[in-house]
C-alpha cells in the first residue's frame, strides 16, 4: 500500500496534510480507516465501477510530441477492469463501501453516489437502508451530449447521482453554486429599476406583482444539463476513459462542504476530486488501486495547488544506492554552498517502444528530494503536461546545514508507471 501526502507542512501526520492518497482497494482498506476517521469527513463522492463488464484504459502520452497531440506517441494501459464474478459480488462490494462511508461521515456530512442506469435503482434501495429513507435529498440527473446513437431505444445520455445526508443537521449552501439571473429579456415581463437602483423584471398574476432581480441568483435544479461531458480533446483530459469534468465535482463540493473540510473519494480514478478539493481549499482523502491513478493525481495537484510539500511512502518501492543501479546516469554539480544542480543523463527503460524515442521520452516525471523515516520528500520536480510538454533534464535544489543529515534522493516515474527511488 502506498500512502502519499500533499500538503504545506512536513511530516506524515495526516492532521497536518492537505491530502492523503492510498493506492489500495476501497473494500479492503476502508475497514482499517474507520477507527481513526469515524465521523471526520464532511463530504464523500463515489464514482464506483458501473458493472459494465468492460476494461477501461489510460492513454499515456509520450514525450513532447505526445503531449502536443501526436497519435503515434500515445500508448494505452489498462486503468481498471469493471468485470465482476457476478451481480451479487458487485452489490456486496458496493454495500460494504457505502456502509463504511456512512460511518466516516460527520453528522452534518453528506454523500453523492454517481452511477448510471445499470445499478442506480439497486443503489437507491441500498442507500435508503444504510442512510434512512428520510435522509434521501436528491436523485440528480446529469444529462450530457456525446457521440453514439441507437434506433432500438432512446439513447442513454445521462448519469444518476444520488444525494443523501447523514442526518438532518447536514450542511448545504446553494448560494455557493447559484448564478446571477443576468440581463436577458424574459417573456411577458417588464424591465424596471427599483428605488434602490437594482434592475428587476416583473409580472402581475392574480393581482400580485412578482419581481425577479437581475443580480439575484438562480440555483441548479436536480437536472444538470449545463455541465458538458469531456470531449476527447478537452484540455482537462488526462487520458482516463471515464474521467469526469471538474465543473461537476466543483458544484458538488462547493454546495456541500466548506473550506478546510475533509472530502473523501474512494474510487479516485483520474484524480478529479483531489484536484478540485485542493483548488477550493478543502482537504481530501482518496483511494484507487491503479498505479496510474496516483501518478496522474500527483501531476494534477502539482499543476493546480499552492501546496509545496509532497511526500510518499511505499514499502514495495525499495530505495537503491545510485552506484548499485544500472538504469540511470545522474550528474551532480554544486553551484555554490546553497544550491546544487542534478542532471539526468540517461535512463534505461523496458519494454522499449517500436518507435525511435530518446531516453528522455520514456520519463514522465522525476524529482529530487530527500528520504527521512522511509518517506520521500520532494524538493523540486518536473513533469509533462498539456500546458508544458517539455521535461527539464536539470533540477536546481537549495541546500542548507539542516540538509546535511538527510539522504539526497531521486524519484523517477516512466511512461509504464515504473518507479525508481535512488539514494544519491
pLDDT per residue over 227-263, tens digit each?
999 888 888 888 888 899 999 999 999 999 999 999 9
- Are residues 117 and 63 part of one domain? yes
Question: How many independent structural domains does the chain possess?
Answer: 3
Cis peptide before 351 (omega within 30 of 0): yes
Pair (228, 300) in one structural domain: yes
CATH number at residue 392: 2.60.40
Same domain, 105 and 251: yes
Q: Give the integer Cα–Cα distance in Å for 65 and 391.
A: 12
Q: Which domain-ending residue is among 313, 338, 369? A: 313
pLDDT in tens, 329-340: 999 887 777 788
Same-domain status, 114 and 210: no
Residue 404: give the domain boundaries: 320-423
Q: What pLDDT is attached to residue 404?
A: 57
DSSP letter assigned to residue 345: E
Last residue of a domain, one of 256, 287, 313: 313
In which element (H, E) is residue 46 found? strand 41-46
CATH number at 18 reads 3.40.50.150
354 and 266 within one domain: no
Q: Residues 98, 202: one domain? A: no
- Indicate whether 143 and 194 sit together in one domain: no
Nearest to 359 by CA among 344, 341, 380: 344
266 & 325 share domain = no
What is the average per-residue pLDDT within 143-156?
84
**Lowest mean pLDDT: which of 34-38, 136-140, 205-209, 334-338?**
334-338
* Residue, of 375 and 264, whose pLDDT is higher: 264
pLDDT of 110 strictly over 60 = yes
Residues 90 and 145 in one domain: yes
Residue 59, CB-side half-sphere exposure with 13 Å CA sphere: 17
* CA separation for the pair 17, 9 (Å, rounded): 7
Which cell is 351 given?
A: 519494454
The answer to whether the CB of 294 falls within 8 A of the CB of 317 is no
Lowest model confidence (mean pLDDT) among 119-133, 156-170, 321-335: 321-335
Higher pLDDT, 212 or 126: 126
**Residue whose C-alpha is closest to residue 397's, from 340, 357, 327:** 340
C-alpha cell at 210: 412578482
Least confident of 38-52, 56-70, 132-146, 283-297: 56-70
Interatomic CA distance for residues 88 and 187, integer angstroms: 52
Which of 296, 313, 330 is the last residue in one of the domains? 313
* Selection from 77, 113, 85, 100 nearest residue 25 by Cα: 100
Rounded to two decimals, what is the model's pTM?
0.88
Q: Does 285 lie in the same domain as 162?
A: yes
What pLDDT shows up at residue 216? Answer: 77
**Domain shared by 50 and 84, yes or no:** yes
Both 203 and 303 in a single domain?
A: no
Amino acid at each position: 500500500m502506498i500512502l502519499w501526502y500533499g500538503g504545506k507542512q512536513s511530516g506524515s501526520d495526516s492532521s497536518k496534510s492537505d491530502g492523503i492518497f492510498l493506492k489500495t482497494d476501497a473494500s479492503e482498506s476502508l475497514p482499517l480507516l474507520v477507527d481513526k476517521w469515524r465521523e471526520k469527513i464532511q463530504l464523500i463522492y463515489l464514482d464506483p465501477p458501473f458493472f459494465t463488464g468492460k476494461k477501461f484504459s489510460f492513454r499515456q502520452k509520450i514525450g513532447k510530441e505526445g503531449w502536443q497531440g501526436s497519435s503515434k506517441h500515445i500508448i494505452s494501459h489498462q486503468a481498471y477492469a469493471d468485470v465482476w464474478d457476478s451481480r451479487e459480488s458487485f452489490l456486496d462490494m458496493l454495500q460494504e463501501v457505502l456502509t463504511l462511508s456512512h460511518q466516516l461521515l460527520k453528522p452534518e456530512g453528506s454523500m453523492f453516489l454517481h452511477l448510471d442506469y445499470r445499478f442506480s435503482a439497486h443503489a437507491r434501495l441500498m442507500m435508503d437502508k444504510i442512510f434512512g429513507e428520510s435522509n434521501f435529498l436528491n436523485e440528480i440527473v446529469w444529462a450530457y451530449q456525446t457521440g453514439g446513437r441507437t434506433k432500438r431505444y432512446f439513447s442513454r445520455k445521462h448519469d444518476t447521482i444520488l444525494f443523501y445526508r447523514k442526518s438532518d443537521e447536514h450542511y448545504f449552501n446553494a448560494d455557493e453554486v447559484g448564478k446571477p439571473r443576468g440581463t436577458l429579456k424574459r417573456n411577458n415581463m417588464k424591465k424596471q429599476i427599483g428605488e434602490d437602483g437594482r434592475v428587476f423584471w416583473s409580472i402581475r398574476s392574480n393581482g400580485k406583482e412578482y419581481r425577479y432581480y437581475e443580480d439575484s441568483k438562480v440555483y441548479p435544479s436536480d437536472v444538470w444539463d449545463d455541465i458538458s461531458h469531456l470531449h476527447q480533446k478537452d484540455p482537462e483530459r488526462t487520458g482516463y476513459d471515464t474521467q469526469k469534468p471538474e465543473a461537476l465535482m466543483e458544484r458538488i463540493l462547493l454546495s456541500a462542504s466548506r473550506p478546510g473540510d475533509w472530502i473523501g473519494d474512494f474510487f479516485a480514478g483520474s484524480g478529479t476530486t483531489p484536484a478540485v478539493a485542493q483548488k477550493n481549499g478543502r482537504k481530501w482523502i482518496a483511494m484507487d488501486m491503479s498505479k496510474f491513478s496516483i501518478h496522474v493525481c500527483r501531476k494534477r495537484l502539482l499543476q493546480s495547488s499552492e501546496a509545496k510539500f509532497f511526500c510518499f511512502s511505499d514499502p514495495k518501492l525499495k530505495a537503491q544506492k545510485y552506484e548499485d543501479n544500472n538504469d540511470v546516469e545522474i550528474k551532480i554539480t554544486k553551484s555554490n554552498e546553497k544550491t546544487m544542480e542534478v542532471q539526468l543523463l540517461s535512463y534505461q527503460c523496458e519494454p522499449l517502444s517500436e518507435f525511435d524515442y530518446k531516453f528522455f521520452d520514456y520519463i514522465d516525471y522525476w524529482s529530487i528530494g530527500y528520504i527521512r523515516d522511509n518517506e520521500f520528500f520532494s524538493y523540486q520536480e518536473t513533469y509533462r503536461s498539456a500546458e508544458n510538454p517539455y521535461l527539464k533534464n536539470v533540477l536546481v535544489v537549495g541546500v542548507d546545514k539542516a540538509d546535511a543529515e538527510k539522504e539526497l534522493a531521486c524519484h523517477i516515474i516512466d511512461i509504464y508507471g515504473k518507479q525508481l527511488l535512488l539514494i544519491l
